Chains A and B, each alone.
Chain A
């Protein structure tokens, strides 16, 4: 299914009226990215969620500060037999029947403890760091591989295209979670080359590969249209090499598509990481991530619902803010684009 492919050859035909008005009041010769930035800066909803996401990123990066200066405990430190003072009264962190303490709203165990007596707030921030890191690396892998494959397939056509597209078809026909879990479990045992199996880069690699077809196919569709345009012929006649044409003539023309895909893939990578971790094929314990924390919580239903709520709400807010901001970026870059919300 080729999504996208609008190359911008047709002019005013289907342009929404408000864009024509906007074009009329702008000075001539403003660049597409300046224009996009102007549109985005008027979209207050998208900016608001962009800021929320930035706040979450900063909080997660400050995890070590919170851990050492406020909570005074690490993400994997057990306090299972300890007592803390709440309202002048000593309370067990984990009660004698195994119930962990709920949110205390104090510096220690701000959001409660888990059955191992670990501080959830500390784990939430460290887990967020891991989830975001996996998501970011996976997105980088997806985007880079998809850009290379999509451009090469669309530019060379013929058997290169056939071979690459069939390879993508194979990944694409796999159910996302079955491929992800299968790769995740087997690589968690063996590791990839120098990487140990419990490295964060293993799920990042798995997720990055799984999503390549969803990005590479639309890029290829666009490149197929671009390569027939006059400026490519001109470059060829000038004697530019294939690599040079792809890098300096085609790439700038698909850059906005790639930018649109970045937030989309980041959101989906974080969600897939959570899913894989839930099934035991993502981030490996005791290393926290939002997915592993929710999985721990699900195992403890109905004893301690805060174990599910805290990481779950955090995850939804983070992914939601990326999605809304990404939607704003897409509207700003190409109001007529039809990029699907992929899974």
Chain B
């Protein structure tokens, strides 16, 4: 068991290093994307550019630049090219919005995903199943920025129920809620669609297992069979999906939702930095997200191995 955990964690660290290298190379590989030009602005002359290049170390070989940047990130002193502000401070500013979005939406999509999944499985083939299946298909086919735009126009501008975007701090709870309710729902729609479909098919599979028949045979009520025996086992894939999706959203993966609602979260900061070709913030945010994804992925694997010896022995 200990060997399995250590090996899994070492692989996770390797993936993180590889991700930082890839992100760094994506931006360094741009021929006409000279970072010195971006720092110096349009008016900088050749001598000034050379000075900037020297100061920031852009004249050094690429692996030296990479190691230096990584050193700055790990020591928390990394600054962005375009604004010359500390990147970690800027991310910290975006964190309340992103955390609020992720936690609220995470609860909504897990809860409604399970609820709709159970309803569609129990009523398989009947009206409720058909109606929710149609909704699930529409959900997975709708881009969040389209839904967000509709919400802003019809619920915000026309009906004047929600604000037209932006984030309001938790110190005013009602305002916070009004700013976030639409982003929560818009972000959740896609995941509710996916989760309810996955849960429905898992439940329908498990219903034919021997232990479910045994549970029915020993006289448990249909509700007890569903909750204690079927649902408990069907939830395993849902929980692992949730862990990974939640990790992505927390690390700024909800770029589209954050952008359309102008939440000023980590994801929107990432999008803006990418458009400015500003390497350090993008590097830090990708590593942050990847860190959450890899960490939760490793955690899920370890929990699985703990629960199911077959994985541990074959891995």
Q: Tell me the count of chain A residues lying within 8 A, CB to CB, of chain B.
A: 51
Instruction: Give Cα distance in the complex from A190 to B282, angstroms.
Output: 18
> Does A302 lie within 8 Å of B256, measured CB to CB?
no
Interface residues of A in 182-214 (CB under 8 A from B): 182-183, 185-186, 189-190
B-side contacts of A280, CB under 8 Å: 275
Closest B residue by C-beta to A305: B153
- Known contacts A178-B253, A185-B274, A185-B277; A275/B201 CB under 8 A: no
> What mask results when residues 1 to 39 of chain B are scored 1 for a CB within 8 Å of chain A, else 0?
000000000010011101100110011011111000000
Instruction: Give Cα distance in the complex from A336 to B146, angstroms.
Output: 34
A-side contacts of B286, CB under 8 Å: 174-175, 178-179, 182
> Does A190 lie within 8 Å of B248, measured CB to CB?
no
The reply on B96 being an interface residue by CB < 8 A is no
The reply on A232 being an interface residue by CB < 8 A is no
A-side contacts of B293, CB under 8 Å: 173, 175
The reply on B143 being an interface residue by CB < 8 A is yes
Instruction: Give Cα distance in the complex from A280 to B26, angstroms.
Output: 17
A-side contacts of B185, CB under 8 Å: none
Q: How far is the CB of A330 from chain B (nearest CB, A)?
A: 11
The reply on B152 being an interface residue by CB < 8 A is yes
> What mask results when residues 146 to 157 of chain B are scored 1 for a CB within 8 Å of chain A, else 0?
100110110001
> Does B256 lie within 8 Å of A177, measured CB to CB?
yes
Q: How far is the CB of A50 from chain B (nearest CB, A)?
A: 14
- Known contacts A178-B286, A324-B137; A308/B146 CB under 8 A: yes
Closest A residue by C-beta to B22: A170
Contact check: which of B143, B193, B240 meets A315 at CB < 8 Å? Answer: B143
Instruction: Give Cα distance in the complex from A279 to B144, angstroms.
Output: 12
B-side contacts of A301, CB under 8 Å: 149, 152-153, 157
Contact check: which of B15, B29, B140, B274 meets A166 at CB < 8 Å? Answer: B15
Interface residues of B in 108-164 (CB under 8 A from A): 137-138, 140-143, 145-146, 149-150, 152-153, 157
Closest A residue by C-beta to B165: A301
Instruction: Give Cα distance in the complex from A280 to B293, angstroms.
Output: 25
B-side contacts of A166, CB under 8 Å: 11, 14-15, 18
The reply on B90 being an interface residue by CB < 8 A is no
The reply on B87 being an interface residue by CB < 8 A is no
A-side contacts of B264, CB under 8 Å: none
- Known contacts A170-B18, A181-B274; A186/B29 CB under 8 A: yes
A-side contacts of B225, CB under 8 Å: none
The reply on B198 being an interface residue by CB < 8 A is yes
Residue from B18, B23, B143, B145 having most chain A Cβ neighbours under 10 A: B143
> What mask results when residues 217 to 234 of chain B are scored 1 for a CB within 8 Å of chain A, else 0?
000000000000000000
- Known contacts A178-B270, A190-B30; A278/B145 CB under 8 A: yes
> Does B198 lie within 8 Å of A340, measured CB to CB?
yes
> Does B157 lie within 8 Å of A302, measured CB to CB?
yes
> What mask results when residues 284 to 327 of chain A are scored 1 for a CB within 8 Å of chain B, else 0?
00000001001101100110010011001001100110011001
Instruction: Give Cα distance in the complex from A280 to B149, angstroms.
Output: 17
Closest A residue by C-beta to B146: A312
Instruction: Give Cα distance in the complex from A309 to B150, angstroms.
Output: 8
The reply on A147 being an interface residue by CB < 8 A is no
A-side contacts of B150, CB under 8 Å: 308-309, 312
Contact check: which of A14, A182, A183, A267 meets B141 at CB < 8 Å? Answer: A267
Instruction: Give Cα distance in the complex from A228 to B214, angstroms.
Output: 34
Instruction: Give Cα distance in the complex from A274 to B142, angstroms.
Output: 10
A-side contacts of B140, CB under 8 Å: 323, 341
- Known contacts A190-B30, A267-B141; A343/B149 CB under 8 A: no
The reply on A176 being an interface residue by CB < 8 A is yes
- Known contacts A170-B22, A340-B194; A175/B11 CB under 8 A: no
Instruction: Give Cα distance in the complex from A14 to B146, angstroms.
Output: 41
The reply on A1 being an interface residue by CB < 8 A is yes
Interface residues of B in 87-121 (CB under 8 A from A): none
> Does B289 lie within 8 Å of A175, measured CB to CB?
yes
Instruction: Give Cα distance in the complex from A341 to B137, angstroms.
Output: 10
> Does B15 lie within 8 Å of A279, measured CB to CB?
no
> Does A189 lie within 8 Å of B23, measured CB to CB?
no
Instruction: Give Cα distance in the complex from A301 to B253, angstroms.
Output: 25
Instruction: Give Cα distance in the complex from A169 to B10, angstroms.
Output: 13
> Does B146 lie within 8 Å of A316, measured CB to CB?
yes
Q: How far is the CB of B159 from chain A (nearest CB, A)?
A: 12
Show 28 residue pairs from A and B whose CB-CB distance is below 8 angstroms, ordered by the A residue.
A169-B11, A170-B18, A173-B16, A173-B290, A173-B297, A174-B289, A177-B255, A178-B270, A178-B289, A179-B286, A181-B274, A182-B26, A185-B277, A186-B29, A190-B33, A271-B143, A274-B145, A274-B146, A278-B143, A279-B275, A298-B145, A298-B149, A302-B153, A308-B146, A312-B146, A312-B149, A316-B143, A320-B138
The 3 closest A-B pairs by CB, nearest first: A175-B253, A319-B141, A320-B141
- Given contact pairs A320-B138, A323-B141, a sample of 12 additional A-B residue pairs in the complex whose CB atoms are under 8 Å apart: A173-B16, A176-B253, A186-B26, A275-B143, A278-B145, A281-B275, A315-B143, A316-B142, A319-B142, A320-B137, A338-B201, A338-B205
